[in-house]
Structure 1
Amino acid sequence: SCPTDSAERVVRRFEAPGVSNYTALLLSPDGGMLYLGARELLLTLNTSNFQPSSPFRRLLWSADEEKKRQCVFKGKDPQRDCHNYIKLLLQLNSTHLYTCGTCAFSPACAYINVQHFSLERDASGKVILEDGKGRCPFDPEYRSTAVMVDGELYAGTVSNFQGNEPTISRSHESRIALKTENSLNWLQDPAFVGSAYLRESLPAGNPEGDDDKVYFFFSETGKEFDYFENTIVSRIARVCKGDQGGERVLQRRWTTFLKAQLLCSHPEDGFPFNVLQDIFVLTPGELRWRETLFYGVFTSQWNKGGLGSSAVCAFPMRSVQRAFAGLYKEVNRETQQWYTDTGPVPEPRPGMCITSHTRHLKINSSLQMPDRVLNFIKDHFLMDSPVRSQPLLLQSHRRYQQIGVHRAQGLHSTYDVLFLGTDDGQLHKAVRVNHGVHIIEEIHLFPAGQPPTLLTPACPLLQGLVYAATYTAVAQVPFANCSLYRSCGECVLARDPFCAWSRGACRRVTPHPPAHPQLWAQDIEDADTERLCQRTNASQPRPRILLPPASGTPCQQIQLRPNEVRSLPCRLLSNLASRRWLHDGAPVNTSYLVLPDGALILVGSPERAGTYECWSLEEGFRKLMASYCMSVQEPAHGPPDSGRKVAAGHDTLETVSTSRSTSAVGSAAARLDGKTYWTEFLVMCVLFAAAVLVLALFVLHRHRDSMKTLLEPGDPSRHQKPPRKPVESLPLNGSSLPSTAPEHKGYQALQDNYIVSTPVHEPPGPARTFSESEKRPLHVRDSFVEVSPACQRPRVRLGSEIQDSVV
């Protein structure tokens, strides 16, 4: 693992002041020039002089003011949306580039003269612009793809302002423009990630006589999974280069459009990684197109294995051909339900290109295809069988977003080297070996939070380089730095196809076989260091001290005061290696504390003195990474804390103060200098008592009214809870409530089962007694309300008794 700005793994970065949003990257055919598309700007620079202060040529291409005003008028953000973002940058021919930009939500395309690096103009001096609809997205955030084939542009993007009309189109001045049919829902809100052109007509004169094809890769909503809502599915789609549309059916529409599912699932439980993030098409050569591999980076819309989980899958060409030659799925236009069509298939096979078989049927063009074939393809554009693969690499805590692949020649075989960009600005270099992927190294390209948005491996002038772009910078990294490995064991364990051990150093492997292969040591499959490195005694290499070494001493001297806590760092170069700490030659026991980063925590005490060594262990190979000689000072006589006032910043190691580490030695260190904690105990007791007192005062203040009521002397009956009163907004007679009623001291409550009555201003005298009939519970139906003209208060008749009350 090489951190940012590491001297062991040089990463060159290019940054131009005032330039941001690198959205397009193109390398010239010879690899000598790099073209960059940014916001309202295009740049070109020499790859041999790649650094922040490198000279570069600048081409300004901004949206005009009228388009910007229309963009703001349509409700877009003037600072973010209403600019020209270069989304497309392709090589048209040896003299011109073809570029497209969003132009403030009014996409346009132009031609760039490579020699002068300027926009091509007509005879009147006006820039030649073409309509970018269907070629470039309106929104700079929308993902699109395009490939140039013999001067024709094949693009996957959206064709309207709202972004809800996705299309795969072909545009050329001299040929019929074709696109997908939106009314048939051939695409369901896709997110395009890549495209590729394969010359499947080669070799010339082959018996199949097939046509060249263009492949598109994207993720979209899978409507065939109707039992899930908004299930995302990864797709591979293809069209034929010679497609000219239909004569009567599918006019100016693709007649060869087919798509299939790319399924990357876990081998144990079948958990799908269903969201395609990036694709790389690795083709050994034009004539070997059957050996093509489609490498993809996938994530999942579900959160199994963590939010950052991702997988790398590879799909061979034969699996893709098998899926496109299988059964079709059919959609019912009325119910929108999908099912496998097992019925007869028209002849010639729908979706196929013009081949020797169709020519034998007197069909030499898609314009001559029978209507029954074209009507069939309108509802049978989805294949039934997915293209399946199992992950070569699974990451549960890293989210891959970009992938680039290079086929490298090793000493004994060829290997696919993968370059994977993560969402936290790192680059993983890995090699495919033994049905899996081995991560060789991890390089920090950009600061955290700046993921690479573009990744392109290239081999200009026989020197492999990787280019990665982010929001404000572009990085250049060599394929390998073999001098990073200082011993035979490290060189072999790296399993880097670009590096091999020879004549006392790890050297770069040449593309051609070496003159004396027996003098070179490389083992990508097994990394057998014992067999390859024993003749050079590389199993015990010289120590590689990465920390500042002490002059003239075999180990770094450390002197601790009693009860002082120190951290001894130990950095490993390989994330696959394990760490082992030794104290005077014996492994440390569980009484020592080792931090997650491998640092050993020590507390100054006599039993901890001695020599500490940190060893790196990997595949039987041992390497000394750090060595420390620790001693403990005698306790100073005098005040207990006088020795602690000495500054701790003179040593080269970091001082750690944690309660967890100090508890590892128990009370032995505390007894060393006679320190007690009686003062701290008293302080804690006082603070606890004060907290309890404050809590008690708060409770008393909160319930002060209740306490006053309980402490007042008087009739206990006055403290009884009064009966509940029904809440009425108006009296029963409909008049307003009396403003004051001093003569009323009782209230009549009406309930369904019981009537509770309080006498109203009774005269002094003996208490009145009630008969048994008056005491029995009355039903509400036995009660009547009357209003007297003389007294507007309602009167309630309880049986034969009428009383005044306020309801």
Structure 2
Amino acid sequence: MVRINQGIKDLVSRGAVTYQLDYSCCYNTLLLDEERGKLFVGSKNYLIALNLENISKHDKKIYWPAPVEWREECNWAGKDLHAECANFIKVLHPFNRTHLYTCGTGAFHPVCAYLEVGSKWDDHQFRIDFNQIEDGKGRSPYDAKHLSTSILIGEELYSGVATDLMGRDFTIFRSLGHRHSIRTEQHDSRWLNDPKFVGSFWVPESDNPDDDKIYFFFREMAVEGQNLGKSTFSRVGQLCRNDHGGLRSLVNKWTTFLKARLICSVPGSEGIDTHFDEIRDVFFLQTRDRRNPLVYTVFSTSSNVFKGSAVCVYSMNDIRRAFLGPFAHKEGPNYQWVPYQGKVPYPRPGMCPSKTFGGFQSTKEFPDDVVLFARNHPLMYNAINPIGHRPILVKTNVDYSFTQIVVDRVDAGDGRYDVMFIGTDIGTVLKVISVPKESWQNMEELLLEELQVFQDSAPITSMQLSSKRQQLYIGSDTAISQLPLQHCSIYGKACAECCLARDPYCAWDGNSCTRYLANTKRRFRRQDVRNGDPNTLCSGDDKRQEEEVLENYKSGRNLGKATPEKELLIFH
């Protein structure tokens, strides 16, 4: 790997920017607002609005600490006054054209508020009406260390969160809006068993909004199998947006909640797979069909034998298929989990009440046997395998784990590529693509760059990507960084170097390595992401210089000292 050291002046000139706030930390909640040109940030005791073009300029801040009496009560309970007894902002969503909805831990007294941000990008409103603070139980965690997720749809908030001080009652909870609050069954390990939530998404199922479903991604202690011990399984849970709960059973509880296991493993010899069992983050890459986004996930392993991470990609069709498969069933404490062989009641549990399926107007109209079956069988028997039945990226025996992922779909000269930006727990970002070998079905991973974003190696805890502005926004406990998606100028000053980089963002324009644009003149453009072969592409350029570049690359590759990958060191 060629290591390119970049000084602060070089980075500033290329647009790399860092933001920090005195007396705050934990920039873990990011909301990208393209329309207003703002990056809204939730941190310790502060709400922040930053300029998307340059996050170091024109910031706005709201100081929102927990009341003194709450902090003192928190401290009396044995918590650290400075590290834990504060208001850590954990929820930040668009609410309407003029307001955001936000919640924080409130020193173990969760609170929520409406944040006025104005209706246009140049509006100067940025304030909270502190007389309208709401109870945040079931919306924000009590403890900042507890993983949670939420999504706001219409005026309803769907949250995966702990609803108690001790972090023992985890639930998927719907609040706000005009309907009754609704949640998962309480204290039933078949539903949720000490879950760690990592993401939530709304996906339409048909043209009928009554069929819309919400998907929650989490990892939890496995309930399946006597021989597993305390094993962690990764899950995806589904529920219907128009679920009103049951009439006599599961009152104000989900009647459509189901969950299935996510598999991310490398096939091994004699049928023994290497499993990456702990899901860390999930990213939905939208396609032309809103009903079928690609689901990118990052996993790590809880194994004591080796350390590793992987990226697995799932299709929504495979996820839906698992929820249409057999239910997992167990007769008693000493029995194994098996596929349910009996008659499944109608309408099938997990189906939404709508004209599309059965004509039921509400879940309160579901027959009692349907609700009872749903209560006792939330788990599906079939697991969900990734596309290709294996990860698209694996890293083992390295000194880091994957923590975050965002993906940008990029059109290059020889096809369309999904560029993955993967955050790690040592403050680096990997820029990776999958390229076809013999065919588009047989892919190989290609590491384009490894970016050391935070000098203090703080784990990356949040990421947002703006394709429109070609910028990446990265949060950690210590700072926020802004990076351009492409750094074409670092790939040298020759056609061969540019082509060998195999970066879909970059192409040789006849004079330098610059951003690839599909509408530029083909006469001068040189790019070969799939093969990285400059022999034919660059034959018309400075021959001596190209031959020297190729010879240096080949000799370095043979010695194992250099590849077309780049490493960029970024300091703040």
TM-score > 0.5, shorter chain as reference: yes
Q: Secondary structure at the match of 1:348?
A: coil
Name the counterpart of 1:15.
20
Report if aligned partners of 1:578, 1:618 keep a CA contact under 8 Å in 2.
no
SS at match of 1:383: coil
Higher relative contact order (CA 8 A, sep 6+): 2
Q: 1:252 — aligned with what?
A: 252
User: Equivalents in 2 of 1:92, 1:165: separation in Å?
Assistant: 27
SS in 2 for 1:540: helix
Q: 1:617 to 1:270 in 2, by over 3 A?
A: closer
Please state how far the C-alpha of 1:84 moved relative to its aligned partner: 0.7
Q: Partners in 1 of 2:151 and 2:335 — Cα distance?
A: 33
In the alignment, the residues of structure 2 paired with residue 80 and residue 295 of structure 1 have an alpha-carbon distance, to the nearest angstrom, of 33
The counterpart of 1:407, out of the listed 406, 409, 423, is 409
One-letter amino acid matched to 2:418: D
Counterparts of 2:332 and 2:303 in 1: how far apart (Å)? 30
**1:350 and 2:354 equivalent?**
no
CA distance in 2, matches of 1:5, 1:454: 25
What is the RMSD computed on CA atoms of the aligned residues? 2.4
**Cα distance in 1, alignment partners of residues 377 and 558 from structure 2:** 61
Q: Which residue of 1 aligns with 2:462?
A: 454
Distance 2:37 2:167 in 1: 37
- The 1:175–1:2 alpha-carbon spacing in structure 2 relative to 1, beyond 3 Å, is farther
Does the aligned pair in 2 maintain the 1:452–1:470 contact within 8 Å? yes
Q: What secondary structure, in the 3-state scheme, does the structure 2 residue paired with 1:491 have?
A: helix
Contact map agreement 2:60 2:126 (CA 8 A) in 1: no
Q: Residue 452 of structure 1 aligns to which amino acid in structure 2? A: I
Residue 310, structure 1, aligned to residue 309, structure 2: yes
1:282 aligns with 2:288: no
Superposed, which structure 2 residues align to 1:732-751 within 5 Å? none
Relative to 1, partners in 2 of residues 1:354 and 1:537: Cα closer, same or farther, differing over 3 Å? farther
Letter in 2 for 1:499: C
Aligned counterpart for 1:130 among listed residues 134, 153, 156: 134
Tell me the SS of whatever aligns to 1:181.
coil
Q: Secondary structure at the match of 2:284?
A: strand
Could you tell me which amino acid in structure 2 is paired with residue 387 of structure 1?
Answer: I
Which aligned pairs between 1:225-240 and structure 2 lie closer than 5 A? 225-240=225-240
Aligned to 1:377: 374
The reply on whether 1:443 has 2:445 as its aligned counterpart is: no
Unaligned runs of at least 5 residues, structure 1: 545-571, 582-595, 599-615, 620-807
CA contact (8 A) 1:331 1:379 kept: no
Q: Distance in 1 between matches of 2:193 and 2:360?
A: 32
For 1:633, the equivalent position in structure 2 comes to: none
Shift of 1:155: 0.5
Call closer, same or farther: CA 1:618–1:357 in 2, change over 3 Å.
closer
Give the distance between the partners of 1:177 and 1:240, measured in 2 at CA: 14
1:56-455 equivalence runs, <5 A: 56-115=59-118, 117-121=125-129, 127-185=131-189, 186-202=191-207, 211-268=211-268, 269-285=272-288, 288-304=289-305, 306-307=306-307, 309-332=308-331, 335=334, 338-359=337-358, 362-389=359-386, 390-396=390-396, 397=398, 398-434=400-436, 435-455=443-463
* Conserved? CA contact 2:428–2:454, under 8 Å: yes
Secondary structure, aligned partner of 2:420:
strand
Q: Does the 8 Å contact 1:180/1:254 carry over to 2?
A: yes
2:52 to 47, 53, 59: 47
Q: Is it true that 1:471 corresponds to 2:477 in the alignment?
A: yes
Equivalent residue for 2:570? none
Structure 2 residue aligned with 1:778: none
- Secondary structure (helix, strand or coil) at the match of 2:369 reads helix
CA contact (8 A) 1:489 1:538 kept: no
Give the letter for the 2:228 counterpart.
F
Structure 2: segments with no counterpart, 5+ residues:
119-123, 437-442, 566-572
Structure 1's 298 and 343: CA in aligned 2 closer, same or farther, altered over 3 A? same
Task: Output the amino acid matched with 2:53.
Answer: S
Relative distance call for 1:577 and 1:221 in structure 2 (3 A) is farther
1:244 aligned partner, one-letter code? H
Against the structure 1 CA distance between its residues 83 and 341, is the aligned structure 2 distance closer, same or farther, given a 3 Å change threshold?
Answer: same
Provide, for residues 575-627 of structure 1, a one-character-per-residue CA deviation record: whole Å limited to 9, x for no partner. Answer: x983579xxxxxxxxxxxxxx9x6xxxxxxxxxxxxxxxxx6769xxxxxxxx
Question: Shift of residue 36 of structure 1?
Answer: 1.2
Change (3 A) 1:46 1:542: farther
* Structure 1 residue 55 displacement after superposition: 3.1
Question: Deviation of residue 10 (structure 1)?
Answer: 5.2
Structure 1 residue 114 displacement after superposition: 0.4
Give the partner amino acid of 1:508. R
In the TM superposition, what is the alpha-carbon distance from 1:409 to its structure 2 partner?
1.7
**Number of aligned residues:** 537
Give yes or no for contact 1:533–1:539 (8 Å, CA) kept in 2. Answer: no
CA–CA separation in structure 1 for the residues paired with 2:504 and 2:204: 29
Question: How far did residue 542 of structure 1 move?
Answer: 8.7
TM-superposed CA distance for 1:529, in Å, is 1.5
Give distance in 1, aligned partners of 2:51 and 2:25: 19
Alignment TM-score, normalising by the size of structure 1? 0.63
Question: What is the DSSP-based 3-state SS (H/G/I as helix, E as strand, rest coil) of the residue aligned with 1:536?
Answer: coil
CA distance in 1, matches of 2:548, 2:348: 68
Residue in 1 that maps onto 2:503: 496
The offset of 1:157, in angstroms, is 0.6
Aligned to 1:758: none
1:25–1:35 Cα contact (<8 Å) kept? yes
> How far 1:230 moved relative to its partner?
0.9
1:31–1:229 CA distance, 2 compared to 1 (3 A): farther
Cα 1:580–1:299 shift into 2, 3 Å: closer
Q: Give the whole-Å Cα distance in 1 for the aligned partners of 2:258 and 2:531.
A: 42
Contact 1:31 1:458 in 2 (8 A): no
Q: 1:3 to 1:175 in 2, by over 3 A?
A: farther
Q: Secondary structure at the match of 2:385?
A: strand
Of residues 29, 38, 41, the one that matches 1:33 is 38
Question: Runs of at least 4 residues of structure 1 off by over 6 A?
Answer: none
Indicate conservation of the 8 Å contact 1:222/1:232, yes or no. yes
Q: Using the alignment, how far apart are the partners of 1:210 and 1:97 within structure 2?
A: 26
The change in CA–CA distance for 1:347 and 1:61 in structure 2 (over 3 A counts) is same
SS at match of 2:71: helix
AA paired with 1:388?
N
What residue identity is the alignment partner of 1:171? S
Flag the 1:20–1:13 CA change in 2: closer, same or farther, 3 A: same
Structure 1 counterpart SS, 2:70: helix
Secondary structure (helix, strand or coil) at the match of 1:386 reads: coil
Provide, for residues 424-474 of structure 1, a one-character-per-residue CA deviation record: whole Å limited to 9, x for no partner. Answer: 111111112222321111111111431211111112xx3211000112211
State the partner residue of 1:591.
none
Q: CA deviation at 1:119?
A: 4.3
1:554-576 CA-partner distances (Å, limit 9, x unpaired): xxxxxxxxxxxxxxxxxx9x9x9
> What secondary structure is seen at the aligned counterpart in 2 of 1:395?
strand
The DSSP-based 3-state class of the residue aligned with 2:357 is helix
Post-superposition offset of 1:38: 1.1
Counterparts in 2 of 1:515 and 1:419: CA distance versus 1, 3 Å? closer
The CA distance in 1 between the partners of 2:544 and 2:179, in whole Å, is 66
CA pair 503-156 structure 1, distance change in 2 beyond 3 A: same
1:578 is aligned to 2:534? no
2: CA distance between counterparts of 1:67 and 1:480?
46
Cα 1:411/1:277, change in 2 over 3 Å? same
- Cα pair distance change 1:4/1:218, threshold 3 Å: farther
What per-residue deviation string (whole Å, max 9, x for no partner) do you get for residues 746-803 of structure 1?
A: xxxxxxxxxxxxxxxxxxxxxxxxxxxxxxxxxxxxxxxxxxxxxxxxxxxxxxxxxx
- Can you list the C-alpha shifts for 1:694-731, whole angstroms capped at 9, x where unaligned? xxxxxxxxxxxxxxxxxxxxxxxxxxxxxxxxxxxxxx
Per-residue Cα deviation, 1:522-547 (whole angstroms, up to 9, x for no partner) = 22222222121122245733979xxx
Whole-angstrom CA distance in 2 between matches of 1:393 and 1:577? 27
* Residues 1:109 and 1:412: Cα distance change in structure 2 (over 3 Å): same
2:569 corresponds to = none
Write the letter of the residue equivalent to 1:445: V
